[in-house]
Structure 1
Amino acid sequence: MKNRNSRSAKFENTKQALELILHWQSAFASHTDRMLFAANYPARINLPGDLHTCLDNASFGETVFASFPSGSLIEYYPNQFIQLPYACIQPIGNTGIRVEPRQGRFYPRCIIAGSLGIDHHDRQPMRIIDTNASSFTVDLNHPLANLAIEVGVRLMPLTDNPQTTLNESTEPLNTALATGIGLQKMLDQSPDFYDQDMFTRQDSSNDAIFYRQKRMVHHIDQSASDTITQIYRRELLPQMRVLDLMSSWQSHLPNDITDLHITGLGMNDSELLANPDLDDYVVHDLNQQPSLPFSNDFFDLTLCSLSIEYLVDPLSVLHEVIRVTRPGGKLLVSFSNRSFQSKAITIWHELHLFERLGLVLDLMLRTRGLIDLTTETLQGQPRAANDIYSGKLMSGDPVFVVSATVNR
């Protein structure tokens, strides 16, 4: 044990981060979740299996992986399936509102405070796995329990920003798992996301009026934008035709790839005109007219950045995306934790950040024209030195991306 962390000790008290990576597979998609942690003293960090030894022997910046068979990393407890009467549901906070449990959905445990020894402050998620006329059944297991998981770690340098703050934890795996990772995993049957109010909004007024005002603002911080750009870069090839759906004055595309034809579709003419990435654009309200003004198979790649939550008929729009994107082409949908609250659909507000991935996956599956679904997330990035919240907020904006391949 004395020599276990000898190599990590070489980097003690230096400004660096530990990146934790989880790869796992659900019934409908493959998933990658990443999170950054402070690692000034890596010898004090606990890692599962022999990952610490592997990290000790790795070069700085090298990623090492370990595979954990089903149930060996996160244990599964059959006795955590519990049937309860509806009468045990407690109001949320001081609102007096009691949720109506819906099958497949996640809710904070505090809605059953007073039952099973659960406290009214307990925000850990639980899944509703069954409902009937008089009762419902909850699963208190972690959503990744009993799954095979590949875990990766690497030490990486930090920026020179003196105000950089990262999550500090001696148990990074447990900390990451507590953020909601796994809530994108759907039941074998579709979660019950859908009701008559799902696509309503706080502000149902004409979107053309709302978006008439030019908003040349950053909707995510620079670190999150850079991450989205890196993910998009993987899909870009020379001479591609790319549709930037629900575009604005930024497309989050790399500026060193120029042999592309980028078409933007958005709501504000001035914002689209100011976007340096666009070769052409169309002003078009998808909530008024979901049909896309393009011919079949026109695009190789369709991107929807930070906007999916504003669509009141996302299924119709996704069907149109499938029509205008060639077979074998890709669709990437990205979002973060910010939005125009009054214009986002009701269900978006109700879901945990990671459960929103499940909603997007479910919408894609319902089209029956998209395959090879994947999700990718990144949390805990440091903010850039010039960010207005640098030194004020713990970390940068999280990134969530869902991708799929057109198949028709």
Structure 2
Amino acid sequence: MKLLHSALRFRVNYFSDLGRHQVVVWMPGDTPPVDAQMDVGPKIEHEVPIDVFRSDIAPLKQGRFYPSQLLHADDAPGPMFRVKQLNDAHFVANFSHPLQDRIFSIDSGKSDVSTEPIGKVTQLLEWSGMETQYQTPTDFESPDAFAREDESPDAVFYAEPRKLIHVDAVCARRIQALYRTVLPENARVLDLMAGWRSHLPDTVASAVGLGMNAEELADNPQLAERVVHDLNADTKLPFADASFDAVVCTVSFEYLTQPRAIVDDIRRVLKPGGMFVVTLSNRYFPPKVIRLWTQLHPMERMAWVGMLIKSAGFKKVETYVERGLKRPKEDRYADRLAESDPLFAAWGVVP
């Protein structure tokens, strides 16, 4: 009989021009109550000369977040800042908490979970708001955004089956739980960039896997159909219009070199009302990840994916973060990291 742990599921809720946002942190059941309107501090903005920023380390971009160490200054009023306005001579650095100018709420609920909750109250607002967008969208992409360390053909890199799960077992279960919550029941699902495991719930009717390695796809017990296809070589999906109720991409989006074209085509193969769901975490293959991914905070990665989904014409865009559960002891990083891999997700619905 598996031991269940008493837990509190705290959730921060807010909106931005991108859509709805949720940040969930699992905490021990005896965690004291949290104020539904926690204080995030005052508004702190400064106009800064452009040459104060260390542009030799990173490009300065509208809407991006940066650590204050990238400023030639010893008296920065906060550990990070967001670029609110930018011209050739100056930029406005916002050192406030990302939720300082937004309405947000915090709720909680009791639950018994199979994994020990170890989250802390400080995590509720630690990252919250970094994915929000203003009317002027964040300028994420540089000319080299989709360059990679290894530009050799992907067919060569993925020729040998790896049969890896790119998150720990706890995070994998949370991905499956999220899919169970957001995907329509009895859906025909396309698992994009699939491997030997899909993390789909038993509520889907059937799944088609599109991936790079035939042996891995053949070993995936959840797939009814299997298609080997290199999306970086050919962005057009080999399916008819309106073929699927949902498309998922699980911890693989960071390898796409032409993501805009692919997200556009994902909308084509979805039925009206169909969903595109992208789940992310913090592990990746360095040789094949796009350069942009290595330059962004995980919350900004999720925001960028959400912006791609919205710009492709999807509606009801949402982002979701979940963290605070204990890492399984058999995971290879268990001796260094106490907490399970975080889960990030973004999704939208075809109108």
Post-superposition CA distance 1:99-127 (Å, at most 9, x none)? 23111111111112525x139xx7x3311
Could you tell me which of 90, 95, 118 is aligned with 2:76? 118
- Report the CA distance between 1:36 and its aligned residue: 2.2
> 1-side partners of 2:106 and 2:262: how far apart?
36
Contact 2:18 / 2:307 at 8 angstroms: preserved in 1?
A: no
Contact 2:191 / 2:210 at 8 angstroms: preserved in 1?
A: yes
Corresponding position of 1:400: 344
| 2:194 equivalent to 1:230 | no
Corresponding position of 2:278: 333
- Using a 3 Å threshold, how does the CA distance of structure 1 residues 165 and 30 change in structure 2: closer, same or farther? closer
- Report the CA distance between 1:398 and its aligned residue: 0.3
Alpha-carbon RMSD: 2.2
| 2:88 equivalent to 1:98 | no
Could you tell me which of 108, 127, 136 is aligned with 2:67? 108
- Using a 3 Å threshold, how does the CA distance of structure 1 residues 273 and 138 change in structure 2: closer, same or farther? same
One-letter amino acid matched to 1:37: M
Corresponding position of 1:142: 97
| 2:115 equivalent to 1:177 | no
- After alignment, is 283-292 or 334-343 more displaced? 334-343
Name which one, 1 or 2, has greater alpha-carbon Rg: 1
Corresponding position of 1:74: 40
Corresponding position of 1:381: 325
Query: Alignment partner of 2:124: what SS?
Result: helix
Corresponding position of 1:4: none
Corresponding position of 1:26: 16
- Report the CA distance between 1:134 and its aligned residue: 1.6
Corresponding position of 1:307: 252
| 2:89 equivalent to 1:89 | no
- Report the CA distance between 1:329 and its aligned residue: 0.5
Post-superposition CA distance 1:10-64 (Å, at most 9, x none)? xxxx96443321111112210110112345x53xx4621xxxxxxxxxxxxxxxx
> 2-side partners of 1:142 and 1:238: how far apart?
38
- Report the CA distance between 1:293 and its aligned residue: 0.5
The unaligned stretches of length 5 or more in structure 2 are none
One-letter amino acid matched to 1:175: Q
Query: Alignment partner of 1:303: what SS?
Result: strand
Corresponding position of 2:157: 210
Post-superposition CA distance 1:147-183 (Å, at most 9, x none)? 2212112344454x7xx5724x4xx1x43312x2211
TM-score for both structures, normalised by structure 2: 0.92
Post-superposition CA distance 1:57-97 (Å, at most 9, x none)? xxxxxxxxx4x4xxx743442xx221111222248xxxxx4
- Using a 3 Å threshold, how does the CA distance of structure 1 residues 362 and 238 change in structure 2: closer, same or farther? closer
Contact 1:165 / 1:391 at 8 angstroms: preserved in 2?
A: no
Corresponding position of 1:191: 138
Matches within 5 A, 1:284-299: 284-299=229-244
- Using a 3 Å threshold, how does the CA distance of structure 1 residues 392 and 375 change in structure 2: closer, same or farther? same
- Using a 3 Å threshold, how does the CA distance of structure 1 residues 81 and 378 change in structure 2: closer, same or farther? same
> 1-side partners of 2:142 and 2:332: how far apart?
39
One-letter amino acid matched to 1:314: P
One-letter amino acid matched to 1:270: E
Corresponding position of 1:262: 207
> 1-side partners of 2:60 and 2:90: how far apart?
10
TM-score for both structures, normalised by structure 1: 0.80
Post-superposition CA distance 1:309-336 (Å, at most 9, x none)? 1110001001110000011111100010
Post-superposition CA distance 1:331-368 (Å, at most 9, x none)? 1000100111111111110000011111111212222x
Query: Alignment partner of 1:233: what SS?
Result: helix
| Matched length | 348
Query: Alignment partner of 1:234: what SS?
Result: helix
